[in-house]
Amino acid sequence: MFVLGSLGGLTTFSGIPYHLVLMSLASGGLNPILLGIVTALGVMVGDSTMFLLSKKVEHVLPLSIHHVLGKVSLWLKKWPALLTPLLVLYGALSPFSNDFIVASLSLLRYTYRRIIIPLAVGNILFNIGLAYIGIYGYDWLTNIF
């Protein structure tokens, strides 16, 4: 699950469907909490790679992108205390890739810890929840059929 999570964290447009594997392993009897944590840590490895890549390509971006990022930066500076809870909520509720958020905030020069730690907490909650959905979903389906 760590490897699948890492691949899922690296891909933006062709997401690796690790979600179904996670739910299947949990419904097969593996520990859902441990599965969720290991998967989320794998996703964070992929997101960390995106963070570093964004730092490296910052100097080659067109001025129009820098202009948009400047506007986003001004908007975020109005409510600095909201960033952490928003990142936790996004990680906990969104099945979509974190790459756009990680890359954008990296380009805005937010620190690694300010981005990755809240996303990791949210991703741990999300993946543990998915594991439990796999367990209870399987039980529910076997009772129906």
| Tens digit of each residue's pLDDT (9 = 90 or more) over 67-106 | 888 888 888 888 888 889 999 999 999 888 888 889 889 9
Q: What is the percentage of the chain residues whose pLDDT exceeds 70?
A: 96
**What torsion, rounded to 10 degrees, do the Cα atoms 43, 49, 54, 60 define?**
-140
Please report the pLDDT score of residue 18 as a whole number: 84
Confidence of residue 13 (pLDDT cuts 50, 70, 90): low
Q: Exposure string (b/e) for 44-81, b if CB count within 10 Å is 16 or more?
A: bebbbebbeebeeebeeeeeeeeeebeeeeeebeeeee
Confidence of residue 15 (pLDDT cuts 50, 70, 90): low
